[in-house]
Amino acid sequence: MVPILQIIALVLVAVGFSLTLAHALELPGKKRLDRQTYVAVQSIYYPGFTIGGLFGEFGAIIATMILLVSTPSETAASLLTFIALLALLLMHALYWVFTHPVNRVWLGDQKLGSAGATFFNTTGAAIAGEDWTRLRDRWEYSHVARACCAFVAFVALAAAAAY
């Protein structure tokens, strides 16, 4: 059962890693965009990245928790799985603290479906007087940090599977 859980966790982490890595790799090009173009580009990520994030982040956390409980304790695999779980939790926390508040700003004038409107809760999301480049940098660099966390989680789970 553990090998199947390892595969499921690795696949889900790979989904989350691919999404954050895609954002991180876009950073140099997106930093060259003017405000109007940048804000227009930001809206293309919804709903695809939101749906992918649900499975690739939340799903990965749940799968890794189940894997951790199923892995014999006091083994290298258990320690590595625990490290992966910590990295995934940090990745998720970074989203809520740094990325999500800026998503709310970028999507403030977009027509969202009921699920999207509930998730992003864009009411009052505009940050009066906030320099758009500070919001851009916060969003972009939060994804670089999140990609690093996803990388750690992926490598830790892959190493655990080798034991």
Q: Parse the chain into domains and list their residue ranges.
A: 2-96+143-162
The confidence score (pLDDT) of residue 51 equals: 84
Residue 157 has pLDDT above 80, yes or no: yes
Tell me the CA distances in angstroms from 72 to 78, 82, 98, one per residue in order. Answer: 6, 12, 35
The confidence score (pLDDT) of residue 54 equals: 84
Residue 129 has pLDDT above 90, yes or no: no
Quote the CA–CA distance of 101 and 65 in Å, as a whole number: 27
- Give yes or no for a contact between 87 and 104, defined as CB atoms under 8 angstroms apart: no
What is the residue-averaged pLDDT of the chain?
Answer: 88
pLDDT digits (tens, 9 = 90+) for 5-38: 999 999 999 999 999 999 999 999 999 999 889 9
Closest-CA residue to 53 (of 32, 97, 22, 74): 22
Residue 117 has pLDDT above 90, yes or no: no
Quote the CA–CA distance of 71 and 1 in Å, as a whole number: 10
